[in-house]
């Protein structure tokens, strides 16, 4: 019974979310509100559990750690001054700490992972791979496209002129490279969305290994949604005089 209820609930929320393709309606708003409320409640529970685990495992070991834990909690409570017009300035304190810490950690990660490691990987990649023509072509293209893309953003300095034939060719290669990169990223995003959509369709149709009971739930809930949506629209389109004449 519990498994059957879970299947019907999943089918209901899936179809309720997709009713937004028709237009915004009550079914969609119900599903949206329940989903957001559940997500926020789950996030609050996870964060409270994290604080409890941190206190029992790390911060309760010494008096200094207890003091630092209490200080961190007080700083965290300053976030709620976001809702106070009079003491809004206190909200900026944890915001500044979070942004500054995040930028510092991100800069360290970017320098090593996305700058130095990229240079080392580019320099250590062989142009020709014995017995693998595809990898050789790929490495050669990377060796050409990466420097051209970097030079594309090199506008001035060191006597470099942008109007020479060499720089025009480099700019063209760089534009094609960026177009290919942006296109592949966008295509990957679209394919990911299609993969999620296909997975939900397979669930609603009861295709194995999905539960076959989902097909029945899909049909019943779809009929209910369509009947209520179309019926409500037809009811709103009727004029009050027409409704009165039909009754009389």
Question: Which of the four pLDDT bands, split at 50, 70 and 90, describes residue 244?
Answer: very low
d(C-alpha 232, C-alpha 228), whole Å: 6
Please enumerate in sequence order all residues whose Cβ is within 8 A of that of 73, keeping only pairs 6 or more positions apart, or say none.
51
Question: Which of the four pLDDT bands, split at 50, 70 and 90, describes residue 106?
Answer: confident
Place of tokens 């970097």: 150
Under 8 Å between Cβ of 143 and 122: yes
pTM of the predicted model as reported, rounded to 2 decimal places: 0.65
Q: What one-character DSSP code corresponds to residue 157? A: S
Q: Which of 53-62, 77-86, 132-141, 194-203 has the lowest mean pLDDT?
A: 53-62
> Tokens at residue 20, please?
């937004």
Under 8 Å between Cβ of 125 and 142: yes
Across residues 14-32, what is the average pLDDT? 92
d(C-alpha 134, C-alpha 41), whole Å: 50
Which pLDDT belongs to residue 155?
A: 64
Across residues 77-94, what is the average pLDDT? 90
% pLDDT > 70, the chain: 93
Which pLDDT belongs to residue 55?
A: 82
| Residue-averaged pLDDT of the chain | 86
% pLDDT > 90, the chain: 44
Q: Where are the domains of the chain?
A: 132-193
Across residues 1-14, what is the average pLDDT? 90
Question: Which of the four pLDDT bands, split at 50, 70 and 90, describes residue 60?
Answer: confident
């Amino acid at each position: 019974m519990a498994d059957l209820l879970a299947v019907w609930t999943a089918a209901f929320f899936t179809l309720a979310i997709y009713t937004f393709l028709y237009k915004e309606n009550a079914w969609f708003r119900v599903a949206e509100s329940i989903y957001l409320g559940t997500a926020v409640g789950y996030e609050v529970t996870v964060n409270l559990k994290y604080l409890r685990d941190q206190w029992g495992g790390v911060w309760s070991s010494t008096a200094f750690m207890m003091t630092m834990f209490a200080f961190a909690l007080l700083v965290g409570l300053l976030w709620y001054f976001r809702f106070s017009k009079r003491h809004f300035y206190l909200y900026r304190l944890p915001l500044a700490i979070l942004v500054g810490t995040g930028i510092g950690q991100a800069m360290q990660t970017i320098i090593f992972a996305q700058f130095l490691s990229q240079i080392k990987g580019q320099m250590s990649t062989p142009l020709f791979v014995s017995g693998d023509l595809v990898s050789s072509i790929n490495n050669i293209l990377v060796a050409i496209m990466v420097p051209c893309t970097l030079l594309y953003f090199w506008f001035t300095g060191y006597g470099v002129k942008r109007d020479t034939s060499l720089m025009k060719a480099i700019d063209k290669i760089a534009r094609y490279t960026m177009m290919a990169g942006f296109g592949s990223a966008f295509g990957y995003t679209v394919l990911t969305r299609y993969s999620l959509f296909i997975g939900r369709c397979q669930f609603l149709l009861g295709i194995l290994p999905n539960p076959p009971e989902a097909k029945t739930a899909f049909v019943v809930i779809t009929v209910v949604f369509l009947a209520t949506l179309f019926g409500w629209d037809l009811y709103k389109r009727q004029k009050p005089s027409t409704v009165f004449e039909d009754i009389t």
